[in-house]
Amino acid sequence: QALAAIQHSDPQINAFTHVAAELAVDAARRVDAKRLAGEALGPLAGIPVAVKDVLCTADMPTTCSSRMLKGFQPPYDATVIHKLREADAVLIGKTNMDEFAMGASTETSAFGVTRNPWDTDRTPGGSSGGAAACVAAGNVPLSLGSDTGGSIRQPAAFCGVTGLKPTYGRVSRYGLVAFASSLDQVGPIAWSVDDVALLLESIAGFEPRDSTSLNQGVPNYSEILQTTDLRGLKIGILRESSENKAVDHAILAAVHHAGDVFRSCGAELVEVNLPHSEYWVPTYYVIAPCEASSNLSRYEGAHYGHRTESIDSNSEQGPLVSAYCRSREEGFGAEVKRRIMVGMYALSEGYADKYYNQALKVRRLIKGDFDAAFTQCDLLLGPVTPSSAFRIGEKVDDPIQMYLCDLFTVGANLAGLPAISLPGGFDEHGLPIGIQLQAPVLEESRLLFAAGAFQ
């Protein structure tokens, strides 16, 4: 059914970079054989799952939607992929994304833009645009995305589905192609909070091969969703976002409405503020490019990645440097190059103190704001995005406008917190709007508990 749905919608939506039809049918048959033999089945038995093309898969290409990795097939599975297989899920294919997860619209993919199933003239958001669009289009019930600065939550919001960014370290990053290692997390996208909880349960947990993985047991997330009684829960509304002029009226109204729903479930609403929130985007856009410039230095056409065919052996720099430069020139798109240059600059001698080290200090202040806010409330409620899905082409030539899409999402990454984007209504164009809940570190249960009551 999933394969038929993809065949029907994907020529238009372009959510997939690779559909593994035969492998998926084989996997489904294996699960069925297990069932017939009376063997115990995993929690995702037979369920088709699509995964963002930033996760290493031993039996499918992994391109990060970049020419640099076109045709690359990793020799191993990412831990989350291994866990999906262990849970008897059926991996259906790899989903389109902004190149190396840098973007907010899936327009920087080297393999064409993904379209929003609600309005195909609009973007599905990004960078996990394909992962959100294929769930919204009804191709698969579950997908995995990655979130460095909002890349699960913003596309989930634009596509009217649910997406969760786990606590930093909750889910293993082993086999997740690195963008900004101190911010990256893998997380679930699905139709419902229940499905998100089930998928999170299957992928979370300690992993010795990821040195930042947290050695903590995984709660039974699906078990905590059975109530709409939120008495005793304090939900903080961010003063900054409710007064922000850059935010569409319909978004503010949706957040307000969500507050009413939570109140009707018995929660208490309090106003809180995060004094350094105006520095979230600038801080993120120093730290993320710095880490990216370092992580992406491995793609030089010799050990990894696209290798140019036009090596200039008479080049003044010598053939090796020439090959390196040309391979990177040909392999990377404009946004990736921009990030590498910004990152190299901010890390270079004489500038590192002014930019990178300064950004690290501000990051500490931002984390402190969240710590203080969570002494006054249990969860934070606010918008996911300043607007609903924008038109394809609208922001693609204006990086600053594109970066401002991340206004409300990058805080959770800088502080390492879990956050969820939930469908919160529609705007006047009939486009979905997301609302966001953020929780203290490792409080995914609290997040899902409140999200479950809301849905």
Decide if 234 is catalytic: no
Q: Is 101 left (phi over 0), alpha (psi -120 to 50) or beta?
A: left
- Note whether 99 binds ligand GLN by CB under 6 A: no
- Note whether 103 binds ligand GLN by CB under 6 A: yes
Q: Segment near ligand GLN (CB under 6 A), from 142-150, 216-224, 242-250, 251-259?
A: 142-150
For the beta carbon of residue 220, count every other beta carbon within 10 angstroms: 10
Rounded Cα distance, 121 and 393, in Å: 9
Q: From the candidates 52, 83, 94, 395, which is the catalytic residue? A: 52
- Binding-site size for ligand GLN (CB under 6 A) equals 13
Our CA dihedral for 373, 379, 381, 386, rounded to 10 degrees, sits at 70
235 in Cβ contact with 241 (< 8 Å):
no
- The correct pick among 62, 65, 114, 148 for binding ligand GLN (CB under 6 A) is 148
Q: How large is the greatest C-alpha to C-alpha distance in the chain, in angstroms?
A: 74
Element (H, E) at 298: none
Q: From the candidates 151, 322, 327, 421, which is the catalytic residue? A: 151
CB-wise, 291 or 378, nearer to ligand GLN?
Answer: 291
Q: From the candidates 9, 105, 127, 388, which is the catalytic residue? A: 127
Binding mask 166-185 for ligand GLN (x = CB under 6 A): -------------x------
Q: Segment near ligand GLN (CB under 6 A), from 5-13, 83-91, 98-106, 362-370?
A: 98-106
Decide if 128 is catalytic: no
Contacts of 60 (CB under 8 A, 6+ apart): 18, 20, 23, 73, 91, 93, 94
Residues 371-410 touching ligand GLN, rule: CB under 6 A, are: 406
Nearest to 151 by CA among 344, 412, 399: 412
Please report how close the Cβ of residue 393 comes to ligand GLN at its closest, in angstroms: 17
Residue least distant from ligand GLN (Cβ): 151
Q: Which residue has the tokens 């999933």?
A: 2
Residues 283-312 touching ligand GLN, rule: CB under 6 A, are: 288
Q: Segment near ligand GLN (CB under 6 A), from 96-104, 236-244, 377-385, 442-450?
A: 96-104
Rounded Cα distance, 199 and 214, in Å: 18
Decide if 127 is catalytic: yes
Q: How many angstroms separate the Cα of 216 from the Cα of each of 13, 172, 204, 383? A: 39, 12, 10, 30
Please report how close the Cβ of residue 388 comes to ligand GLN at its closest, in angstroms: 16
Element (H, E) at 119: none
CB-wise, 177 or 453, nearer to ligand GLN?
Answer: 177
CB-wise, 174 or 403, nearer to ligand GLN?
Answer: 403
CB-wise, 415 or 450, nearer to ligand GLN?
Answer: 415
- The correct pick among 10, 53, 147, 195 for binding ligand GLN (CB under 6 A) is 147
Rounded Cα distance, 393 and 52, in Å: 22
Please report how close the Cβ of residue 38 comes to ligand GLN at its closest, in angstroms: 43
Rounded Cα distance, 272 and 346, in Å: 33
The catalytic residue positions are 52, 127, 151
Binding site for ligand GLN (CB under 6 A): 101-104, 127, 147-151, 179, 288, 406
